[in-house]
Structure 1
Amino acid sequence: MPDNKAVVYQGPGKVSVEETPYPEFEVKDGPGVNPANVGRKVQHGVIVKTIATNICGSDQHMVRGRTTAPVGLTLGHEITGEVVETGRDVEFIKVGDLVSVPFNIACGRCRNCKEGKTDVCENVNPDRAGSAYGYVDMGGWVGGQAKYVLVPYADWNLLKFPDRDQAMEKILDLAMLSDIFPTGFHGCVSAKVGPGSTVYIAGAGPVGLAAACSAFLLGAAVVIVGDLNKERLAQARSFGCETVDVSAGDPKDQIEQILGVPEVDCAVDAVGFEARGHGREAQQERPATVLNTLMDVARAGGALGIPGLYVTGDPGAADEAARHGSLSIRIGLGWSKSHSFVTGQCPVMRYHRRLMMAILHDRVQIAKAVNATPIPLEDAPRGYAEFDHGAARKYVLDPHGMLAAA
């Protein structure tokens, strides 16, 4: 049996790479595992040898100590790999297949899955609808920042790449399919981005950059990205975005300088609950700032896509209400402007295959847009630290050296 290593949360600000058990076709007890899931048989699953597994901003929220994630939790929900074992009940996925793993874990059988709402599957997390690998309060499925990982309901969840050689040539782009590319795309679809749209995207981290790339793919005329990190704003400009430095003041004024009017057709929140203020408050946490700004700059009758993460429990929040997920948003403003809002996890499978085809047929260069940067699994602590300090990169862990070889 091969050895296994994984990235493990060791408390606020600290991760380490540890020896961990090789996966079995059964959910074992461990940090963060829901007791009702312990002993669950997973003969519908496969073992994946991880080719690429990415560090996500959602992981960073946990590592900063901004969630109730337990020490010892194996991290990682953005997984691309090769199938090396199949469970007894797997019919269509075969050993040797190269696959993308949606970060949502879904059974394919419940009402929500049958309606395409794989982000809120009812059968994989005993506490609430919706699940993910290596994430707090998501059922306890072991994370994929590891050499090997168990993937349940494989015939339903996995997206097989049609040609191995072609996939390995584009593997960095394809590694973005497990989360940030569909998530950014979902934010834009939710905001009703289309041909000729003007779009404001709050946040120039990897999801914000993926959303900007998606907006162009959907035909947007002007894509404006707002952030206070100058290196990340430069990355946004590198593929044609206009930018707004929110530390310089109200985005609305800067949007007017770009467009001639202080509003956009569509707005996307790619920041979430650790949002900072604008202008003189740019170094202070103001968790409702982005949502209120989007309502301010989106035109009447416009739409807001909100793929940025918001939580029900934030022990590090600046005030008591925010610790329980309550924010002072200007819902009256959104109501008066007849805005529509779409929140929640991206249902990855809704977009998965189409975005794969866009990559394989050279319609998009998502890895270049987000500055995907491969590093060895052992360098994960460095990747987390640099990402936390604002590096304009999407760190991709390479557990077996296959990215370097490619």
Structure 2
Amino acid sequence: MAGNKGVAYIGPGKVEVQDIPYPKLELQDGPGVNPANIGRKTEHGVILKVVTSNICGSDQHMVRGRTTAPENLVLGHEITGEVIECGRDVEFIKVGDVCSVPFNIACGRCRNCKEGKTGICLNVNPARPGAAYGYVDMGGWVGGQAEYVMVPYADWNLLKFPDRDQAMEKIRDLTMLSDIFPTGFHGCVTAGVKPGSTVYIAGAGPVGIAAAVGAQLLGAAVVIVADLVESRLAQARSFGCETVDISKGDPKDQIEQILGVPEVDCGVDAVGFEARGHGEGSGKEAPATVLNSLMEITAAGGAVGIPGLYVTGDPGGIDEAAKVGALSLSLGTGWAKSLSFTTGQCPVMKYNRGLMMAILHDKVQIAKAVNATVIPLDQAPQGYADFDSGAAKKYVLDPHGMVA
């Protein structure tokens, strides 16, 4: 039997590449695996040889020790791979297919899946709706920052690329379909972005940059991206975005300088619960800052998309309320302005095929926008450290040296 290596969370600030079990078509016991999932048969699944698996900001929350993730949890929910083994019940996916794996695991059979709400599948996580690979409280499905990984419900979950050679030529772009491109796009769709919209995106990390690309695809007139890190703001400007440096004061003042009015049609939170204050308080954690700011600067009757991650367990929260995800929101502002809010996991399958077609037909260059940077699996710990320092890059792990 082949060996396997994967990137595991060891403790706050530390990951390492370990020897891990080769995947089986059955869920095994291990770090974070829900006891009710142990022994679960997955003959509807496949084994993938991982072509690429990306480091995500959501992974970084765990690695910083800001969740209840257990030690030795194998990370990685952004996966693209080649099928090398099919379970007995897989009918349409074949050995040799190169596919994108939506980060949210879905059965395709429950009420939510049938309604397109694949981020909150009812059958894959005994603890609560929704599951993901290599993520805390998400059922214990082993992550894909590894050489090999098992994907369940393969006929339903996998997005097969039409042509292998074309896919490998565009793999840096296509690898973004597993999470950040659909997630950023979802943030814009739920914020109501349409042709002519003015859009404010809080956060110039990979999801924020992906949201900006998504806003442009949707026809936005002006896309404004905000962050504290100048290199990330420069990345946003590199493909036509306006930018706001929140260390220099209230975003609405800078928005007014750009648009002539201190508000936008649509707001997107691509930061999440580790948000920091604006202006003089920009170095201090203030988890409700982005949401409250978005309510203030989004025009009455507008909408706020919230792809940024919020959790119910944060050991590093700034106070007892923040440790359980209870934030001091100015909900009265949102109510008074009749704002709409959409939170939660992006239902990747709602968008990934359309975005794939945009990539394959050269309508978008998402890899260039997020500054995709390919590194071997054994450099993952350094990739995590560099990403944590604010590097304006999206790190793509290449376990088998398959990326040209």
- The answer, yes or no, to whether TM exceeds 0.5 is yes
- Deviation per CA, 1:338-358: give whole Å up to 9, x if none: 000000000000001000000
Matches of 2:219 and 2:337, distance apart in 1: 24
| Equivalent position of 1:318 in the other structure | 318
Hey, what's the Cα distance between the residues in 2 that align with 1:377 and 1:310?
Answer: 28
Asked whether 1:300 is paired with 2:315, we answer no
Given residue 301 of structure 2, which amino acid in structure 1 is its aligned partner? Answer: G
Equivalent in the alignment of 1:218: 218
Q: Distance in 1 between matches of 2:274 and 2:173?
A: 27
Q: Distance in 1 between matches of 2:90 and 2:402?
A: 26
* Superposed CA RMSD: 0.4
Identity %: 78
Q: Distance in 1 between matches of 2:202 and 2:11?
A: 29
Residue by residue over 1:339-393, the C-alpha shift from the partner in whole angstroms, topping out at 9 and shown as x without a partner, is 0000000000000100000000001000000000000000000000000000000
Q: Is 1:44 aligned to 2:51, yes or no?
A: no
**Deviation, structure 1 residue 14:** 0.2
Task: State whether structure 2 residue 23 is matched by structure 1 residue 23.
Answer: yes
1-side partners of 2:2 and 2:356: how far apart? 30
Distance in 2, matches of 1:21 and 1:274, equals 33
Q: Does residue 161 in structure 1 map to residue 161 in structure 2? A: yes
1:34-85: CA deviations, max 9, x gaps?
Answer: 0000000000000000000000000000000000000010000000010000
Between the two proteins, the alignment pairs up a number of residues equal to 404
Q: What is the CA–CA distance in structure 1 between the aligned matches of 2:170 and 2:218, rounded to whole Å?
A: 21
Which amino acid in the other structure matches residue 16 of structure 1?
E
Give the corresponding residue for 1:98. 98
Q: Which residue of 2 aligns with 1:365?
A: 365
How far did 1:3 drift? Answer: 1.5
1:6-405 to structure 2, matched below 5 A, reads: 6-403=6-403
Q: Which amino acid aligns with 1:27?
A: L
- TM-score where L is the length of structure 2: 1.00
**Runs of 5+ unmatched residues, structure 2:** none
SS at match of 2:137: coil
Q: Distance in 2 between matches of 1:381 and 1:171?
A: 22
Q: Deviations over 1:170-224 (max 9, x none)?
A: 0000000000000000000000101000000000000000000000000000000
Cα distance between partner residues in 2 of 1:72 and 1:385: 18
Consecutive unaligned residues of structure 1, counting only runs of 5 or more, are: none
Structure 1 position 226, deviation (Å):
0.4
* 1:2, distance to aligned residue in structure 2 (A): 1.8
TM-score by length of 1: 0.99
CA drift of 1:271 comes to 0.1
Letter in 1 for 2:12: P
Runs of 4+ in structure 1 deviating by more than 4 angstroms, as ranges, are none
Distance (whole Å) between structure 1 residues aligned to residue 360 and residue 329 of structure 2:
41
Equivalent residue, structure 1, for 2:3 = 3
Question: Match for 1:76: what amino acid?
Answer: G
Instruction: Deviation per CA, 1:223-267: give whole Å up to 9, x if none.
Output: 000000000000000000000000000000000000000000000
Other structure's SS at 1:320 match: coil
Separation in 1, partners of 2:51, 2:241: 31
Give distance in 1, aligned partners of 2:168 and 2:130: 31
Q: Write the letter of the residue equivalent to 2:281.
A: E
Structure 1 residues 154-173: Cα deviation after superposition (integer angstroms, max 9, x where no partner): 00000000001110110000
How far did residue 153 of structure 1 move?
0.2
